[in-house]
Structure 1
Amino acid sequence: MDDLPTFFIVGAQKTGTSSLHDWLRQQPDICLPKIKETHYFAYPERYRYGLDWYLEQFSTSGRKATGRVMGEIDPEYMFFSETPKRISQLINNPKIIFIFRNPIERAFSQYQMSVARGYEDLSFIEALEIEQDRLANDTDDFSLKHHSYLSRGRYAEQVQRYLQAFPKSDFLFIKFKDMVSDDKGEEMYGHICSFIGLKSDPAIADRTRRSNEASEPISMILRNIIHRGSKLRRLIGKTIPSYDLKLKIWLAIDRLNRRPLKHKETLEYHRIPNHMIMSIKNEVKRLQQMTNLDFDDWLEKMSQCTRLQKMPDSK
């Protein structure tokens, strides 16, 4: 079958994938799903929809047959363990891009998102301390999706799954910090375009646009209707038969119901338990060997954290 994706940008979550999706959509030679993140290869309930459903998520006019580059950006694909195997059963050797963010800062950004959506009532440190218990007792993948703060930052084991599933694929590893920086951002974006086979001018994209930044709901009632699977949402959903239309409506309402955070919880590295920091550091060192990227800035920040914990006034 020709009309299949040739590239995947698999995450990680909270590494600018929404902004990257919006930038790439501005390129005339690309075909992306009509709505970002189908989760087809990640969630079992979506995978059961079948291949025809998946391909319907892509614009017909933008299929590979018209000469456009077809692919998907979905950060769940990096974290959910069955994804590489499912993709490999359908597609041979796609190009795969990983974007890495300091695992602690990424975890905090996800935590802010879960708080904003009403999925989290604990403080950041409290949430980290019970994360493993939540995941161990997770019967419906809710915590896996919304409380996996440090678990999603174990990048090395996630990359390893893809290396095993696609030994002949081309991989591109990028640091989030470089992709969004004023100095390297345009170069990184151009590198991404070239890697996936885009001939378009990278300058076409308006990279000043930032999507899915930290925010809070304007109306808590609307937030709960959208994100907590309320009876009202289910009732409204029954009146709209089209999955695409329902999703577009809820996403539009969600965007309109957001505003910038007024009261931001500060990320306090020195409050994070030392055993968590050491575990993350070991994972980062593995990732450094696998990708040949320089993560010394991450490691130094984590070392500063452990030094601060030893100070008498750090608690």
Structure 2
Amino acid sequence: MVSRPTPSYIILGAQKAGTTSLYHYINEHPWVIKARRRETHCLDWRWDEKIKTKSKQLEYCQRFFFTDHVKNRVSCQTGDSSPSYLLDSRRVIPRLKRVFDWKMKFFVMMRDPVRRATSHYSMVTSTDGTPAQQKTRGLEWRNKSLWDVVQMEMKKMNECSLIPYWNIEDGIIDQDCFDQFFGSQQEDEAWNRYLERYVPLNTGSYGLLTRGMYAVQLRPWFRSFDRDQFMFLRLESMKSKNGVPNAMERVFSHLDLPYHPICDESAKNSREYESTDTKIHDYLQRFFEPHNRGLASVIQTKSEEWIDPWPYQVV
């Protein structure tokens, strides 16, 4: 028996899709040791550019965990939940492959992208929380309506040639154009331009729409890691009857841990927000609907759960 590496798993995202709850559920297992902080961000926000050698980079990143405790407990493991990682693949993947050069497990939580976007906007523009929390969320969307932010984000994507199939003004999709563009080299190039230009490290006020475009976010990860390292979960499934125990049975199996019942199934870090205006809601559903339909082919599953993960009545 040898100790497991630190960390053994990472919850990559998506933000506002139940990652906090998943992290807490995993840490209810007696063989899991919490990190020193829930979101380490050691590979993006807190990455230290001054450190150049691989060994020192590893030493720095492992300071965010109780690494010595894990080494002395060969049955135990620890992990990270930094939901910005999924989107910020351009920065995170090379660092992860260099510093954590073992085969770890990944989790990706997904949620109806319309509801995810609304929740994201509500969190960022909320005036509650500590000054430090408000600073981290950013001020860029303050005094802007949800519609203002949607249009602003659409223009950024359009500038990068990421949505040639979408008529921003009318909210209409060219399905033939989408089918040709989805998964193409042109989409990859546009996606890289978007990540380089519009994924900052000093604010949480970005990616309102792209964080819900799960298929294009996942492709860089699949090019860099084996598919069997990933597990995908839908927040909506976890909210259904017996959803948490059913999901956690699969989660613990993915981590090579024996099943352990969850004592506290309550949602963590959730918030109430106002219902979305019908015009905005319909606009966003039309935009996300083809992305949702294409997700199953990207994660290579025939499970009914993912064939039409968020059925919309598109008008």
Q: With structure 1 as the length reference, what TM-score do the two structures score?
A: 0.70
Number of residue pairs matched?
252
Matches within 5 A, 1:89-238: 89-90=98-99, 91-116=101-126, 117=134, 119=139, 120=141, 121-133=143-155, 140-142=200-202, 145-167=204-226, 169-199=228-258, 201-203=259-261, 205-214=262-271
Deviation at 1:25, TM superposition (A): 2.1
- Does residue 52 in structure 1 map to residue 59 in structure 2? yes
Instruction: State the AA in 1 paired with 2:62.
Output: L
Match of 1:38 among 33, 37, 40: 40
Structure scoring higher RCO (CA < 8 A, sep ≥ 6) equals 2
**Ranges in structure 2 where 5+ consecutive residues have no aligned partner:** 52-56, 127-133, 160-196
- C-alpha contact (below 8 Å) 1:31/1:64 kept by paired residues: no
- C-alpha contact (below 8 Å) 2:112/2:310 kept by paired residues: no
Match of 2:288 among 280, 285, 289: 280
Deviation at 1:179, TM superposition (A): 1.9
Distance 1:17 1:64, change over 3 A: farther
Alpha-carbon distance in structure 2 between the residues aligned to 1:105 and 1:47: 36
Distance 1:72 1:133, change over 3 A: same
Instruction: State the AA in 2 paired with 1:115.
Output: T
- Does residue 8 in structure 1 map to residue 16 in structure 2? no
Give 1:72's aligned residue. Answer: 80
Instruction: State the AA in 2 paired with 1:99.
Output: M
Give 1:257's aligned residue. Answer: none
As a proportion of its length, which structure holds more helix? 1
- Does residue 300 in structure 1 map to residue 308 in structure 2? no
The percentage of counterpart residues that share the same residue type is 21
Alpha-carbon distance in structure 1 between the residues aligned to 2:28 and 2:4: 23
SS at 2:226 equivalent: coil
- C-alpha contact (below 8 Å) 1:2/1:65 kept by paired residues: no
Q: With structure 2 as the length reference, what TM-score do the two structures score?
A: 0.70
Give 1:62's aligned residue. Answer: 69
**Ranges in structure 1 where 5+ consecutive residues have no aligned partner:** 215-260, 308-315
Instruction: State the AA in 2 paired with 1:210.
Output: A
Query: What RMSD, in angstroms, separates the aligned Cα atoms of the two structures?
Result: 2.8
Deviation at 1:128, TM superposition (A): 0.7
